[in-house]
Structure 1
Amino acid sequence: MTQVMSWDDWIAHDAVALAGLVRKGEVTAAELAAQAAAGIAKVNPAISGVVEVFDDAVADPAVNGADPTGPFAAVPFLMKDLGPTVAGRLQEQGSFYMQGNRPAYDSFLTTKIKAAGLNIIGRTTTPEFGCCSSAENPAMYVTRNPWDPDYTSCGSSAGAAVTVAAGVLPVLHGSDGGGSIRIPAGCCGAIGLKASRGTYSISPYGSDFTSVVSTQGCLSRTVRDTATFVDACRGGAPGEFMPFWSPEEPFAHLIQRDPKPLRIAFSHEWGPYKATPHIAAELAKTAAFLESLGHHVEEVVPQVDFARAYGAQTHCYITNFAQTVNSLLRMRGLDAPPSDLIEPMNIRIWEQGKDASYTSRADMQLDFNATARAFGAFYQDWDVILTPTTARETPRIGTTEYLTITDNPSALDWFGNLWGFFAYTPLTNLCGTPGISLPMAAHENGLPLGMHVQAAQGKDGMLLQLAAQIERALGGVWNGGRQPQVHVAA
């Protein structure tokens, strides 16, 4: 397959830059799609990040309806195989149960993605129903970390993270219900923003009012691409239950200026959970770096009842995923999940959560409220909280304790173990606040370690300003300038 540019040139361009080449007539959208397909073919056998390539969309970037006048000018793009649907395309949600599922309509966000000019050429891997730390079921696929394929990518936006990290494409779709954009971004050396509640619509199948913890978004290699994606794809569909944020200035403009000096708290001991000594040391180094940029930085732990917050989050996940499975069973008139088609922990979650009472959900909402108010009070004094993205080392492939193929009989115990690893990301989902993982650090074994910056609801622009300031201070080079073992330019 003929390439329109060398792989070194390819990775030197983010999506905004590629769109600029298309607008200037230096490359065509079809040439970009062909090169992206070649990149997938080159690295996917080693990392299994892409489930399917839409050959017709590669050959003709107009086939899915991408608007060539949008800010991304028909730059190729991949959708996570979960969440927003693409009319006529398979969406199988990482599950044998959903194989052959072909939605008939575009979700509202899909229409926004197409209007932004993104050419959807395929779909990326996810764990079953997005309920897991990694897309790793050997009977289906095993998504591997491009920095070292013996390690996991984490998840649930697993395929997006590894495909961005391997240089195939500069920006891809992801979703985040407890860290599912930020965690794989942190493990794979990408940028991952979980936006404030009320940024991206999940119409028509849900709303931010009823699905309070999960949101959509992207993973990228540059802050500019993330800011441009938010600008182009944000906004509520007609009939939303709640108002959506509308910033005074587009984020793509805002990030060209440094933020004012910020009051930044950093911490890693959150209730029963804390980071390993090496991760804590990397956090302290990052805090010192932010101080060198002119910010006031201090080690402070938010005054939050963390045990209560994690307990509520666990109840939310068990009951939410139980109803996800329940809805899929009703579609086929089944009374129970078939054990040969749905993974063991998802069946246990269904068993342990399907009959939850309204009272238990009401108590959960009280706990959510108390947690959100406590963080809100904290943000009266502090602009930002800095934590690691994860508290433990990235697991090796086959570490089943974090997977839905585990034989752990208790969903409660399984989630409690997950929080020990992913301690810092889920509470932003609970509170509806923004968080961004930035590829600023490394584990002792050299794998990427994200640093996680959080702020009050609606302060996404400030987070992106800070991220852009950091990016400029690093000379535009993340991950210390290192490149993964599996990479299009390798």
Structure 2
Amino acid sequence: MKQVMTWDEWATCDATALADLIKHGEVTAAEIAGQAKLATEKVNPSLNAVVELFEDAITAPFAEGTNAQGPFAGVPLLIKDLGPGVKGRLQEQGSKFFKGFRQTSDAFLTTKIRQSGLNIIGRSATPEFGVASSAENPEIYVVRNPWNTDYTSFGSSAGAVASVAAGVLPLAHATDGGGSIRIPAGAQGLVGLKSSRGVLSIAPALSDITGYVSTQGCVSRSVRDSALFIDSCRGGAPGEFMPYWKAERSYTELVKRDPPRLKIAVSHEWGNYHADPHFVTELERTVRLLEELGHYVEWQTPDIDFEAAFAAQTTCYISNFAQFIQRQLEKRGLTEPPEELVEPINRKIWLEGRDMSYSERWLMQDVFNSTSRQLGAFYEQWDMILTPSFSAPTPLTGDKRYLTLSDNPDVMDWFYSLWELFSYTPLASLTGTPGISVPLAWQTSGIPLGMHFQTRQANDGQLLQLAAQLERAAGGRFNGQRIPQVHVTV
């Protein structure tokens, strides 16, 4: 396997640029995949971000139906280890309980990814079932933040984000059920978009009411890559529960021009939760930047019953995860999750939610509905709302308070400790509205701090358009000249 680009050249190319090189015959898709393999070998021993590489996909990028004529032209992609199924490949979901499990068919989104020309070359690390705030189980792997390996990568798209931040490849698949794209992107200096409900398929799993909060997506270093991913991969499978809609114009074209003057609310007081004082300072700095770009910004918070919203979302997570575990137990003829194979908090989630009544679910759905209407009314007056991507400093690796390895005896208390840290992103998941983390700020630790913009349903294009304007204001590249401690160029 030979290196076809210098590491500096590799690190400055986004997926769109790599695709152009392939289309013009300057490199082949196999050569690019080979360099991604070399990049993995270079940084992964320090990060544990990549679980497995698919050697056959690296040497023969178009053998599994990847479209050589697609817009990505064979650019390599990592798939999150609990994302859409990839036929014949392991999908172990960060769990000993799923060790050795292989998917028997491609999910609908997998076919869309292949049609776009993305070559799935491996799988990225995730916490068990995607539940915890970081992918940290020493018996499986501990994913580390490439900016400073003493700090957590956050989760659940931990491996996807760490691999892109460290320069393994420019784009990776990710998922978001409460902030799992936006939060790790925020702590690692990447663009992380959670699309509106009804953009990217979640079939065949969760294609009904249980899929309210979960969305598919990607993390990237450039706004145009995220725009092209959405343009190329959007759309629902036949019979999928929710209505799938198409944007009026290509996001790839939309992001080339600035948005109109926007009316942007800004807040860090989210019900009972408030941001770290330094985060507020960084938020104020972002406000000044937005004003310099011509936008109107004012401190305002949506008139929402945040306490009810957090309670409903907690009910949703517990009932969804409990039923997921229960289905797996029934398939295996088991009566309870084995202690040696399932992490402690996930066992407690199963106990808490396995017998949840329809009445409890109905009350949850009622809050989902009322909260969505309240937020919708807010967006009649405001184009967007800005907060930090999370509310407190990124924890050190090994802080079990936020892990499913926690010994917290109260699963509800465990969830509410998460909300103290991840205060701002769950609202978009509950309401099905889009949110994006943009790398505009820094924590006192020296690792990145994302700024999080949310907007109304189906306004994803304007989020990307604003992010692209901010990217241009940053000189065309986020994070300036700073690079992580662990990076292909180091």
Q: Name 2:306's counterpart in structure 1.
A: 306
**CA contact 1:18–1:75 (8 Å) conserved in 2:** yes
CA distance in 1, matches of 2:372, 2:119: 38
Letter in 2 for 1:194: K
Q: Name 2:283's counterpart in structure 1.
A: 283
Question: Are 2:453 and 1:457 equivalent residues in the alignment?
Answer: no
**CA contact 1:197–1:208 (8 Å) conserved in 2:** no
Residues 310-389 of structure 1 mapped to structure 2, 5 A cutoff: 310-389=310-389
Q: Name 2:197's counterpart in structure 1.
A: 197
Unaligned runs of 5+ in 1: none
1:216-275 Cα distance to aligned partner (Å, 9 max, x none)? 000000000000000000001111223212111010001111110000000001011010
CA distance in 2, matches of 1:242, 1:400: 37
**CA contact 1:73–1:117 (8 Å) conserved in 2:** yes
CA distance in 2, matches of 1:322, 1:409: 17
Residues 89-238 of structure 1 mapped to structure 2, 5 A cutoff: 89-207=89-207, 209-238=209-238
1:77-114 Cα distance to aligned partner (Å, 9 max, x none)? 10000020100000000000000000110000000000
Letter in 2 for 1:287: V
Give SS of 2:27's match.
coil
Question: Are 2:52 and 1:52 equivalent residues in the alignment?
Answer: yes
1:408-446 Cα distance to aligned partner (Å, 9 max, x none)? 011110010000000000110000000000111000111
CA distance in 1, matches of 2:252, 2:477: 19
Structure 1 stretches of 4+ with a deviation exceeding 3 A read none
**CA contact 2:222–2:477 (8 Å) conserved in 1:** no
CA distance in 1, matches of 2:211, 2:245: 17
Letter in 2 for 1:270: W
Q: Name 1:269's counterpart in structure 2.
A: 269
Letter in 1 for 2:303: Q
CA distance in 1, matches of 2:210, 2:338: 28
CA distance in 1, matches of 2:208, 2:469: 30
- How far off its partner does 1:12 sit? 1.2
**CA contact 1:156–1:181 (8 Å) conserved in 2:** yes
CA distance in 1, matches of 2:185, 2:364: 29
- How far off its partner does 1:209 sit? 4.2
Residues 31-50 of structure 1 mapped to structure 2, 5 A cutoff: 31-50=31-50
Give SS of 2:211's match.
coil
**CA contact 1:202–1:208 (8 Å) conserved in 2:** no
Question: Are 2:247 and 1:251 equivalent residues in the alignment?
Answer: no
CA distance in 2, matches of 1:334, 1:36: 41
CA distance in 2, matches of 1:274, 1:63: 51
**CA contact 1:64–1:120 (8 Å) conserved in 2:** no
CA distance in 1, matches of 2:351, 2:243: 35
Give SS of 2:467's match.
helix
**CA contact 1:80–1:173 (8 Å) conserved in 2:** yes
Question: Are 2:228 and 1:240 equivalent residues in the alignment?
Answer: no
- How far off its partner does 1:16 sit? 0.7
CA distance in 1, matches of 2:64, 2:333: 33
1:182-212 Cα distance to aligned partner (Å, 9 max, x none)? 0110111111000000001111122264410
- How far off its partner does 1:346 sit? 0.1
Give SS of 1:264's match.
strand
Letter in 2 for 1:23: K
- How far off its partner does 1:477 sit? 2.0
Letter in 1 for 2:232: A
Name whichever of 332-341 and 60-69 sits farther off.
60-69
CA distance in 2, matches of 1:330, 1:191: 39
Q: Name 2:74's counterpart in structure 1.
A: 74
Q: Name 1:414's counterpart in structure 2.
A: 414
CA distance in 2, matches of 1:291, 1:327: 51
What is the TM-score when the length of structure 1 is the normalising length? 0.99
CA distance in 1, matches of 2:70, 2:91: 25
CA distance in 1, matches of 2:204, 2:350: 24
- How far off its partner does 1:296 sit? 0.3
CA distance in 2, matches of 1:302, 1:94: 36
1:330-365 Cα distance to aligned partner (Å, 9 max, x none)? 110111000000000000000011110100000001
Question: Are 2:16 and 1:11 equivalent residues in the alignment?
Answer: no
CA distance in 2, matches of 1:191, 1:100: 32
1:167-189 Cα distance to aligned partner (Å, 9 max, x none)? 11100000000000001101111
CA distance in 2, matches of 1:124, 1:257: 33
CA distance in 2, matches of 1:84, 1:357: 29
CA distance in 2, matches of 1:345, 1:298: 40
Name whichever of 77-86 and 54-63 sits farther off.
54-63
What is the TM-score when the length of structure 2 is the normalising length? 0.99
1:112-141 Cα distance to aligned partner (Å, 9 max, x none)? 000000010100000000001000001110
Instruction: Report how many aligned residue pairs link the two structures.
Output: 490
Letter in 1 for 2:140: M
CA distance in 1, matches of 2:64, 2:135: 27
**CA contact 1:318–1:411 (8 Å) conserved in 2:** no
**CA contact 2:345–2:406 (8 Å) conserved in 1:** yes
Give SS of 2:480's match.
helix
CA RMSD of aligned residues (A): 0.8
CA distance in 2, matches of 1:355, 1:94: 25
